[in-house]
Amino acid sequence: MENRLKTLYRLQLIDDELDELEASRGDLPLMVRELENRIKTLQNAVESKELEIKEAQEKQQKDESEIERYLENQKKFKSQLFSVKNNREYDALNKEIDQTEVQIKKLEMEIESIKVNNQKLDREINEVKPELEELVADLENKQADLKQIIKSTEKEEVKKREQREKIESQVRKPDLTAYLRIRKAKNGKAVATIKRSACSGCHNIVPPQRQLEIRKNNRLFNCEYCGRILVSNEIAEEIVKEG
């Protein structure tokens, strides 16, 4: 049991060290992530507008060739006007010509609104582009800075991660699950010691009777206020002495 508690405390200490390493990188990792997200959002917006423009242009081309077809038909109908045999045929042809005219007008209006909309989309894209370029440049700088910082602490981190893995493999599965859960909920600190009769995690007093029980190191106790795993000072001191 004592070993179980010791391993948990060792795990907490190595995680503390890794957290410190992470913290030494400051806000950079977060800033890089936020920049990446912002860029991605803007790029997606630009891409979807570019796609919209492309599809509208295809539609415009279709409309234009349809107009040409109508114009050819119209020309044919108009030439036929000269060879009609009676009023009925004449009226029928004129009706066809009128209808063709209506269709052409409709298509021309559609093309016009496509053009207006595409111009609007183009403007929107061009408005975003300088911001996007700025953000990308900013991201590149920050990524380079972060890389530099990571590089300077890389060896130390690799070593600590290896140590951590070794320690973690010694922790019992249910203990590890509890540890990780509490660590996540309690800002990284899952294991606490007793300092001046209080839980080092939440500073609430641990009752004397409970302190005695904890000092026996034969059971796993959680702080009744914050839920952190409590280990005795004896165990904490021993582990710290180990280095």
Q: Write out the residues near Zn ion by the rule CB under 5 A.
A: 199, 201-202, 223, 225-226
* CA distance readout (Å), 231 to 77, 197, 200, 213: 98, 12, 10, 10
Assign 3-class secondary structure to 64-77. HHHHHHHHHHHHHH
| Residue 157 or 225 having the CB closest to Zn ion | 225
Length of the chain: 243
Least distance from C-beta 204 to Zn ion, angstroms? 5
Cα separation, 32 vs 39, in Å, equals: 10
CA distances for 11 relative to 8, 39, 53, 97, angstroms: 5, 38, 56, 87
Closest distance of CB 16 from Zn ion, Å: 16
Compare residues 143 and 222 and give the one whose CB is closer to Zn ion.
Answer: 222
Closer CB to Zn ion, residue 15 or residue 63? 15
Q: Whose Cβ is closer to Zn ion: residue 28's or residue 198's?
A: 198
**Residue 188 Cβ vs Zn ion, minimum distance, rounded to whole Å:** 14
> At its nearest, how many Å lie between Zn ion and the CB of residue 218?
20
d(CA 162, CA 164) in angstroms, rounded, equals: 5
Find the radius of gyration of the CA atoms of the chain: 37
